[in-house]
Structure 1
Amino acid sequence: MSYFFPYQITHVYLNQQLTLPALTYHRQGNYLVFWWKETAVGHLYIEPEQTLSEEQYYSALSMAITPTIRHFANKKHTNSDSWQTWLAQRDNARLATWMDSIFPTPPTLPKQVPVSVIICTRNRATLLRRCLLMLRMLACMPREIIVVDNAPIDEASQKVTQDFEEVIYVVEPHLGLDRARNTGVKTARFPVVAFVDDDVVVHPFLVYRVWETFQESSVAAMTGLVIAMSLETEAQFIFEQYWSFNRGYINKMYTPDYVRVVNKQAPPVWEIGAGANMAFRKSIFEEIGYFDELLDVGAAGCSGDSELWHRILIRGHSIEYNPWAIVYHEHRRDATALKRQLFYYMRGHAAAALIQQEYNPQAGYEQYLYKILPKYYFDLAKTDFPHFRYRSRTLWAEMKGLVSGIAFYYRNRKGAPKPSR
């Protein structure tokens, strides 16, 4: 029998509290997310039944946030050695002055920015209502919000949108997330389009941070930080440990060199971010085409976002990962749902890799699919046999998805149209 204790998520604002927060350790773990004002700077797992002394906490806190602190200090050309001493000495005043010097002061936000927010939804009216209510409370509003109702079975989502006069409601009658995304882009009237999943909670600064990112003219697309909303079940914990959408707390710029330099090693474009928090310059779709609908739910399964990122890079554009643009995601709660999710992840992943090989024949995606991934799964199965706990609990679903995705590609890609412009 598998015993799992939940993890309590606690957000610790270091500008308000440097001391060890009050935590429960018995029969639960703790997951701490550290912030300096509106900037997330790191996280820390504390295992169930593991208690920390004050000294142990400060040591673990320092290790968790050092990469982010060092990155921003270097950008400001500031000596980054003293802050750990101030932290250890609980010298709040000197630490606060220095931290404020390396992290930007939260801006005075405009009321609106020229961004179109697109929410693709299907038969989840309750979640859609929550999402729209949260968007209404943003510190900076988008110029338009578009709800794309994907092959709905009833009018529940449409009725929700009728309570929000600012929302544009569109039906995409054909099933598929990428179809819905493409409909949203074609409906949008503003130069930046941001996608928000109907099951996420958005940070109040999200839309402003999206708009701010595109003030750099070289940026064609962006992704943002995705923080887990809860880790109450084993399935959620497995996902966050091994499949997390969290790409860290440091800005990263992905240039065309990202695919050129590692071409023969299969450029891991899936590491750029998550579709739950992404945005694009609308004009990029006119240049390189829209989301590939062969990778849709009901078709290959997913990875339309990472395949599009690959196309953007090989056409000479850049993508920024901006961790100041933040959403919170609710992971699948039960093992059955997680296994189904990961089956389609790997099915779409395999099909997308082969499509990327088409666009970029020098890339090593075929070797990645036929040699590297099989060896990885063989080694994982060999190591975890016969118990298959934690990481390997979803092993067979992933392997079946991988085989299914390769088969799907060869059955369907020949003669299929490439993404339309």
Structure 2
Amino acid sequence: MSFQPAYHITHVYLDRQSDWLPPARVRQGNYVVFWWKAIALGHLFIKPNQALLAEAYHTALAAAISPAIEHYAGLQQASGTPWQAWLPEQDYERWGAWMEVLLSSWLPVAIPPQVPVSVIICTRNRAAQLWRCLQQLHALPCAPAEIVVVDNAPTDASTYETTKAFSGVAYVRELRAGLDIARNTGIAMAQQPVVLFVDDDVIVHPWLLYSVWETFQEPTTAAITGLVIALALQTEAQLIFEQCWSFNRGYVDKVYSPGFLQATRGQAPPVWEIGAGANMAFRKSVFEEVGYFDELLDAGAAGCSGDSEMWHRILAHGHSIRYVPRAVVFHEHREKMADLKRQLFYYVRGHAVAALIQHEQQPQEGYARRVFWTMPKMYAYLLVRGFPFFRFRSRTLWAEMKGLVAGMVYFYSHRKAKTPR
């Protein structure tokens, strides 16, 4: 069995820390996330026992945050400023003054105490995680108008008892098992014009609700996804997930228009790159147009890919989706390897089912080729590369390949099933 050192997560706030250099950690790595106030700018992996000198560290820091800084500078017509040189010189005064002006438009002086957003949490027998999530939501400086907890095919009363402990939280029990079934139940219950889905195992950033609400002030936005940062990287399973399957889609705003499908037509448009279901929001009215989540994708207890199939459908109907890195949650990855393998089995299974559904809807987009050719070819390559020890990334290959085959079987045995809504 391979040994993978844990990584300590360090959040460095460049607006207020005079010493930005994290200490070297013996037999432990360091995952450094850089912030300017409430705006995440980038991250850096520092290997175990790797001690970076100040100059090398500042160079690595500049490289990590450069895409985000240049993005904001371009929006403010401030490109060309030699900010990279100020960091190695440790000219923090000039740097800070420039950054304050650069990011002022994204750092409002005041935020509303409540916004018309429904938060939907789909959960099952995870009372401890749900308790933490609800506590966080109740402590937000900008609160949602409504919180809906969907108890999905529970085997005990723990979710109901947890929900009762919090005021203003709506509880609904959905007896049919399946994540997309639970999502649809939550949408039907929601009373606000925007619905935000968060997983029960996330910690929400204080500005999450404000960032979501602010983004939907743009009337052409039908859906958004947000930044997902790892909450802990203490086990090999967590590190494998973050480095090979990360929910983190970067620190730069992105707009996905219908042209995204057209630009990659015939090559299986990678809608799964748009974001993660752990942090996504929709204008509720869009479901009346494009339909609810496809319940055929509930391929097991960890049903998945309903989110990417929904994003594909929204784009195919001519709408836009935004990725907003200022809408942040912190996700608790699976600690144990067995749990990670199970998770990835269902991820790949759901991915295959979603791809085949999209192939039936849009045969010209190339999703069948992805399932029957591109993915098997990729796994053959990974098997050869991992042989004979199958360490780190290779440790989950068998679960993934079984998921791919199971997805094909599931789709063709259930393809006549219809979503009831």
TM range (shorter): over 0.9
Residue 6 of structure 1: aligned partner = 6
Aligned identity (percent) is 59
Q: Is the 8 A contact 2:21 2:57 kept in 1?
A: no
5 Å matches for 1:267-286?
A: 267-286=269-288
Q: Is the 8 A contact 1:18 1:90 kept in 2?
A: no
Q: Distance in 2 between matches of 1:154 and 1:125?
A: 10
Residue 77 of structure 2: aligned partner = 77
Give the RMSD, CA atoms, in angstroms: 1.3
TM-score after normalising by structure 2: 0.97
Could you tell me how far 1:155 is from its partner in structure 2?
A: 1.6
The verdict on how the C-alpha distance between 1:237 and 1:64 changes in structure 2, with shifts beyond 3 A counting, is same
Could you tell me how far 1:54 is from its partner in structure 2?
A: 0.7
Could you tell me how far 1:160 is from its partner in structure 2?
A: 1.5
Residue 148 of structure 1: aligned partner = 150
Secondary structure of 1:275's match?
coil
Q: Distance in 1 between matches of 2:393 and 2:210?
A: 37
The verdict on how the C-alpha distance between 1:90 and 1:339 changes in structure 2, with shifts beyond 3 A counting, is same
Q: Distance in 1 between matches of 2:55 and 2:31?
A: 18
Could you tell me how far 1:62 is from its partner in structure 2?
A: 0.8
Secondary structure of 2:19's match?
coil
- Say whether 1:23 aligns with 2:26: no
Would you say how many aligned residue pairs link Structure 1 and Structure 2? Answer: 419
Residue 256 of structure 1: aligned partner = 258
- Say whether 1:43 aligns with 2:39: no
Q: Is the 8 A contact 2:196 2:280 kept in 1?
A: yes
Could you tell me how far 1:105 is from its partner in structure 2?
A: 2.4
Q: Distance in 2 between matches of 1:252 and 1:79?
A: 18
Q: Is the 8 A contact 1:300 1:351 kept in 2?
A: no
Residue 416 of structure 1: aligned partner = 417
Q: Deviations over 1:149-184 (max 9, x none)?
A: 111112221111222121111111111111111010
Q: Distance in 1 between matches of 2:320 and 2:132?
A: 33
- Aligned pair partner of 1:228 in 200, 220, 230: 230
Secondary structure of 1:357's match?
helix
Q: Distance in 1 between matches of 2:89 and 2:22?
A: 20
Worse-superposed segment, 103-112 or 328-337? 103-112
Secondary structure of 1:152's match?
coil
- Say whether 1:137 aligns with 2:121: no
TM-score after normalising by structure 1: 0.97
Could you tell me how far 1:334 is from its partner in structure 2?
A: 1.1
Residue 384 of structure 1: aligned partner = 386
Could you tell me how far 1:81 is from its partner in structure 2?
A: 3.2
Secondary structure of 2:129's match?
helix
- Say whether 1:309 aligns with 2:315: no
5 Å matches for 1:8-407?
A: 8-103=8-103, 104-298=106-300, 301-407=303-409
Secondary structure of 1:65's match?
helix
Q: Deviations over 1:78-129 (max 9, x none)?
A: 1343211221221112111111122122441101111001111111112111
Q: Distance in 1 between matches of 2:305 and 2:46?
A: 32
Worse-superposed segment, 188-197 or 122-131? 122-131
Could you tell me how far 1:300 is from its partner in structure 2?
A: 8.6
Secondary structure of 2:266's match?
helix
Could you tell me how far 1:297 is from its partner in structure 2?
A: 4.6
Could you tell me how far 1:420 is from its partner in structure 2?
A: 4.8
Worse-superposed segment, 285-294 or 160-169? 160-169
Could you tell me how far 1:36 is from its partner in structure 2?
A: 0.6
Q: Distance in 2 between matches of 1:402 and 1:124?
A: 28
Q: Deviations over 1:328-366 (max 9, x none)?
A: 001011111111110110000000000011221211001
Q: Give unmatched runs, 5+ long, in structure 1.
A: none
The verdict on how the C-alpha distance between 1:116 and 1:296 changes in structure 2, with shifts beyond 3 A counting, is same
Secondary structure of 1:264's match?
coil
